[in-house]
Amino acid sequence: MRESASADSTLLLTGRKPHQERDPENAVPTLWNDVKSDTRSAAKNAARDLIDSGLSLTKTDVIISAFGPTLRVFADAYPVVDDEDNKVPPRRALEEAREAVTQVLVDEYLEAEGIGDLDDITEWYILCWLVHESDTFSYDEGLQLGYGIGVDVDDIKRSTKTWRKSRGDMSLRGHTDRVQNANEKPENRSSRTPVNPDDLSFGLALDKVHAAMHIYDVKGESACCDWLRERNFGSDSTFKATLQALLQVLPHDHEDWELARDLAVGRTRDVLDLDFSPNVFAEDSQQTQQTGIDDY
């Protein structure tokens, strides 16, 4: 597993003088709403072209590489203003590009249905694994990915314990850091751990799956089957979508992947009524190899 998900390639953005001289001060402003969809289309097209190119690029590279075409669209429309005549900075176009390319990556590499129906925090967690292919990556990259789907990662850090910060990096937390020990009496459990496995309902889809992993790990398959039935997770589409997505984005040497696999086979599979494609368990699955785009 990579220690950091920084781009493997050197990507250069080149600015060229336009063929026609423009006077930004006297140019008629373009409404952001009119150019927004064009920036997203440019980013998506650039991402698809790169994915189809056969170049050895990580998913982070693909996102960054889409910035050039996006900025070109923005520059052609400059100056850009919003509905209240406030100037729109170029970073807004880059935020749209990041969000648009992330959706392309989801469509291309995730088979799980219903990802878009998950709560924002669970979706962000899954997308971080998908895009960065590591549990540790640049804090700013995680922050921007959160902004793209409406998650302020700083606001959720303490309450959800989904990630920790180390210097300039962000590290995603697994189930062992988030779920209280079911073998301890409730009064002896750490109040710093947000997920109570005794709860019958959970605020996040990720909490459901992490709690199930913990129960399977410390109490075994039979107890986990009972636990799943008590919470009707066999008919919970968000639980199934999260479980399948984690199987696709987590590396196979990660403890959470192994527990996700255990939940998706045997008696717990029957309780959950799963219908996953067998390729999410394949030992050489490209989804979990953490390699370049050309290997997919």
| pLDDT tier for residue 114 given thresholds of 50, 70 and 90 | confident
Query: What pLDDT digit, counting tens, does each position of 208-249 carry?
Result: 999 999 999 999 999 999 999 999 999 999 999 999 999 999
Least confident of 19-33, 193-207, 235-249, 277-291: 277-291
147 located within any domain:
yes
Judgement on whether residues 163 and 181 belong to the same structural domain of the protein: yes
Judgement on whether residues 124 and 97 belong to the same structural domain of the protein: no
Judgement on whether residues 224 and 181 belong to the same structural domain of the protein: yes
Tokens at 135, concatenated? 């549990």
Q: Is 117 exposed, middle or buried (0-12, 13-18, 19+ CB in 10 A)?
A: exposed
Judgement on whether residues 124 and 266 belong to the same structural domain of the protein: yes
Judgement on whether residues 101 and 129 belong to the same structural domain of the protein: no
What residue numbers bound the domain in which 218 lies?
112-296
Last residue of a domain, one of 66, 94, 109: 109
pLDDT at 26 over 70: no
Question: What is the average per-residue pLDDT within 112-123?
Answer: 86
Judgement on whether residues 132 and 213 belong to the same structural domain of the protein: yes
Which residues, 6+ apart, have CB-to-CB distance to 230 below 8 Å?
200
Query: What pLDDT digit, counting tens, does each position of 159-206 carry?
Result: 999 999 988 999 999 999 999 999 999 888 988 899 999 999 999 999
285 located within any domain:
yes
Judgement on whether residues 45 and 161 belong to the same structural domain of the protein: no
Judgement on whether residues 170 and 275 belong to the same structural domain of the protein: yes
Provide the number of structural domains found in the chain.
2
Q: How far apart are CA 127 and CA 236, in angstroms?
A: 21
Question: What is the average per-residue pLDDT within 49-62?
Answer: 82
Last residue of a domain, one of 79, 109, 139: 109
95 located within any domain:
yes
Question: What is the average per-residue pLDDT within 241-262?
Answer: 95
Judgement on whether residues 169 and 85 belong to the same structural domain of the protein: no
Last residue of a domain, one of 109, 141, 171: 109
Judgement on whether residues 72 and 116 belong to the same structural domain of the protein: no
271 located within any domain:
yes
Judgement on whether residues 35 and 105 belong to the same structural domain of the protein: yes
CB 195 within 8 A of CB 207: yes
10 located within any domain:
no
Half-sphere exposure of 244 (CA within 13 A, CB side): 23
Closest CA relative to residue 213, chosen from 183, 243, 250, 244: 243
Judgement on whether residues 235 and 151 belong to the same structural domain of the protein: yes
